[in-house]
Amino acid sequence: MSAELLRIRGLVVAFDAFHAIDGLDLSLHEHEVRFVIGPNGAGKTTLIDAITHLVRVTSGSIVFAGQELVGQSEHAIVRTGIGRTFQKPSVFDELTVLENVDIAAAFRQPFRALLRRRKGVSEEVAAAMDSVNLTAHADARAGALSHGQKQWLEVAMVLVQRPRLLLLDEPVAGMTQSERLQTGELVTRIAQEGTTVLVVEHDMDFVRRFAHRVTVMHEGKILTEGSVADVQRNETVREVYLGRPRDARGAAEVPA
Amino acid sequence: MSAVAKLLPGGVPRPSAFVVRFGLVAVSLLLVAPAVLSDFRLSLLAKFLCFAILAIGIGLAWGQGGMLVLGQGLFFGLGGYCMGMHMKLAEAPAGQLPDFMTWSGVEQLPLLWEPFRSAWFAVPAAIVVPMALAALLGYAIFRQRVRGAYFAILQQALAGAFVIVLVGNQGLTGGTNGLTNFQSFFGLSVSHPADQKILYLIVASVLLIVFLGTRELVLGRYGRLLVAVRDDEDRVRFLGYDPTRIKVVAYVLAAGLAGLAGALFVPVVGIISPALLGIVPSIEMVIWVALGGRTALAWAAAGAVIVNWAKTSISEQYPSTWLYLQGLLFVLVILFLPKGIAGAVEHIRGYAGRLALLRTRRRRIGGPGAATASPSEEVA
């Protein structure tokens, strides 16, 4: 088995009395593709937010490649080699597609280098745009792209940074069927090239088609882990998805 | 542009629209204006061009970076006082104190003034002191993620406090009167027309250089990042950048340009006083840029010149109306032209473009190109 890349122990994220993540343990190994599923409010997005410090961790530890992430600032966490996307595609509308990818690519350059004008298009920027089929739109304003294209642009921006761990938050939400297929293939390819990927996804069809290992979250905890077939056979998972809560708390609705 | 292109022999690369426009402005400022304007108007224009330098800084920090710098009077003043102190010392008779100190009963030169005897200290200080202060303030403010209205109010407070300090230290700063009665600036007489013309040319050249430099920065990767920070600061963090640093740089540069503008303003106008730097003047500085167009550096600079030119010409005719007119203009711009004059020009251009397109379409009605011509041409 390959080395452990991400190790989360006893993670708690509390918003006042509500525990969005309630004592979660999770390990990711190098070169793994892990899908995280779960009903609304299970804490899937909060998990990504906690890893990247978009929300404050109440207690617990997140160790990535030997470094403790809890307490580090957002940009420092990105610099350790973690990239993420957002549920709502967030690209810079006023900049062109090329400029969006270019500033993402330049994040490790010394500040002085940023002051100069961009000369041409670097190979990795071109490759990143190509991998998401946006080369033809390089000079279009990102604001003019379709929803699916914006999501791809965001993927290109994170790919060009060559993260060791990629966190994708519902990458196919709002995409057409063919866009979904292409995205799935892209995720598979990224993983084959050596990036560890964690995908939070709602779309069970997409999960069935592209997932190998699946983690099911429920009420801020890990419910079970296994192959797609294992998970689908699991009685508790079915109960959770069919909305028959096993305890009094029920499936609390949390804003994503 | 096409006229220029026709003049060039074949094979010579056609200059870009920017080079042509910049060339025209440079020629008008450096050659035409000194030839056609009276001495009085030319020295007024020199003053407005100082304001334009400051406006470029606001265009950078506010227009590109989204930081509403409502207290630029502070940095303008620091630059102005650095230069003013040096000029005062340079022209005080040997062994004597600057005139206003004698009047306030100061008998020994304050320690703060001592280094300003040297031009080698004073001139760089006019730019470096505002930048250093802005770096300290900016780092503290942006690291705490203070932005929006809170940032703007803080800027106002700083400008207000600066004026209170200036007025309260009569013996050190000249109090309400500020520093005035200047005679000369590095051997140039501030009242002699020929020397004033040289001063004007210095200011105009500095403005052109500042514009080119700032434009390079805005077009570079840093400029793109600054826009990204303006539109979604938090998103930039998740690209691995620290927005604090990106914002501090623009804020510090804007302060440096304000200081530079203040340093040039003193010899051109012959005075620096708290009345030029307080809360209201600081707001006016932002109004110039809002009227010109904050997202385009050239229009920010033009805004400073246009508004001040209008202010002077209208005040000459109807002394008390300007204030009302300025208020009205500001309201109208906010309501109808959020991008200032730049936005209006863009709009008219787009309209003219569509008209021309319509005309060509009508001419070749039914022709094969009629239907396919639209999308790309309308954008252009």
ipTM: 0.87
Q: A75 and B224: CB-CB below 8 Å?
A: no
The per-residue pLDDT for range B352-368, each reduced to its tens digit, is 888 888 888 777 665 44
Q: Is the pLDDT of residue B376 over 70?
A: no
Q: Please give the distance of CA B356 from its chain centroid, rounded to a whole number.
A: 36
Q: Is the pLDDT of residue B235 over 80?
A: yes
Average pLDDT, chain B: 90
CATH assignment of the domain containing A46 = 3.40.50.300
Tell me the mean pLDDT in the region A202-214. 87
For residue A90, give the nearest of B220, B221, B232 by CB distance: B232
Q: How many domains does chain A have?
A: 1
DSSP E strands in chain B: the ranges are: 184-185, 188-189
The answer for B 235-274 residues in CB contact with A (under 8 A) is 235, 237-242, 245
Q: Is the pLDDT of residue A72 over 60?
A: yes
- Residue A105 distance to chain B (closest CA, Å): 9
Angle at B72 between CA B183 and CA B67, to 5 degrees: 160
H or E, element range at A216: strand A213-218
Q: How is residue B168 written in tokens?
A: 């309260």
Residue A250 covered by a domain: no
Q: Is the pLDDT of residue A56 over 70?
A: yes
Nearest C-alpha in B relative to A51: B238
Residue A199 covered by a domain: yes
Residue A229 pLDDT class (50, 70, 90 cuts): confident
CA distance B17 to B271: 39
The per-residue pLDDT for range A126-155, each reduced to its tens digit, is 999 998 999 999 999 999 999 889 999 999
Residue B8 pLDDT: 55
Q: Is the pLDDT of residue B262 over 50?
A: yes
Q: Please give the distance of CA B246 from its chain centroid, rounded to a whole number.
A: 20
Judging contacts by C-beta atoms under 8 Å, the chain B residues touching residue A74 are 234, 237-238
A56–B contact, CB cutoff 8 A: no
Residue B6 pLDDT: 52
- The parent domain of residue A183 ranges over 4-242
Residue B354 pLDDT: 87
Residue A248 covered by a domain: no
Judging contacts by C-beta atoms under 8 Å, the chain B residues touching residue A114 are 220-222, 225
Q: Is the pLDDT of residue B188 over 50?
A: yes
The per-residue pLDDT for range B71-118, each reduced to its tens digit, is 999 999 999 999 999 999 998 888 889 989 988 888 899 999 999 999
Q: B239 and A103: CB-CB below 8 Å?
A: yes
Least confidently predicted of A187-201, B47-61, B131-145: A187-201
Nearest C-alpha in B relative to A84: B238
Q: Is the pLDDT of residue A74 over 80?
A: yes
Nearest to B179 by CA among B260, B265, B51: B265
Tell me the mean pLDDT in the region A160-174. 92
Residue A65 covered by a domain: yes
Q: Please give the distance of CA A198 from its chain centroid, rounded to a whole number.
A: 6
Q: B232 and A79: CB-CB below 8 Å?
A: no
The per-residue pLDDT for range B108-139, each reduced to its tens digit, is 999 999 999 999 999 999 999 999 999 999 99
Q: B221 and A111: CB-CB below 8 Å?
A: no
A50–B contact, CB cutoff 8 A: no
Nearest to B65 by CA among B294, B261, B339: B294
Residue A119 covered by a domain: yes
The answer for A 97-116 residues in CB contact with B (under 8 A) is 99, 102-104, 106-108, 111, 113-116
């500033």: which residue's tokens? Answer: A103
Tell me the mean pLDDT in the region A237-242. 78
Residue B12 pLDDT: 61
**pTM reported for the whole predicted model:** 0.88
